[in-house]
Amino acid sequence: MTYLTESKDALAKALREIPVVWETETHKAVKFLLDHDDAEFVADALIASGAVIDADTLADDEALVEAARKAIEDELIDWRDEGRFMLCGNGFTVREKDGSPSEIIRFRTDLGFRIGLRALTAALTERSQ
C-alpha cells in the first residue's frame, strides 16, 4: 500500500507526532531515528521505498495521471452511451459518438474527482505489488 503525503516536510512532522507501538526491530530503529531528530531521513526512506508518495511526485507521474484521466473518460463514455446525465451547473462533458461537441453535463466534478482518486489508488496498489 502507498500513502499520500503533502510533502516530505509534512510527513516528517507527522512522523514526530503520531504515537506508534514500537514492537519490531524495524519499529525500534525508526523510533531511534525519530528520537534523534532524523524524521527527515525516515521520510526520505519511506518515499524512496514507495511506501509514501508526495503530492508533487503524484501530480508529475504521467502514468498515474493517465490512469486517472482514462478512468474518468471511460466513465464519461459509459454515461454518454447509456444516455445518463446530471442536472447541475458545472461538470464533465464528452463528445458525441460522431465526434461532435456536446453541452450535456454527464456528471459533476466531485464524481469525476472520486473516479480519478479510485483509479489512482488502484494504480498505486498495482505498482506496489
pTM: predicted TM-score of the whole model, two decimal places = 0.69
So what's the pLDDT on residue 96?
A: 95
User: How high is the pLDDT of residue 107?
Assistant: 94
Place of cell 473518460: 73
| 9-17: average pLDDT | 73
Are 29 and 56 a contacting pair, CB within 8 Å? Answer: no
- Choose between 14 and 60: higher pLDDT: 60
- Cα separation, 57 vs 44, in Å, equals 13
Give tens-digit pLDDT for 62-88: 999 999 999 999 999 999 999 999 998
Average pLDDT over residues 12-35: 65
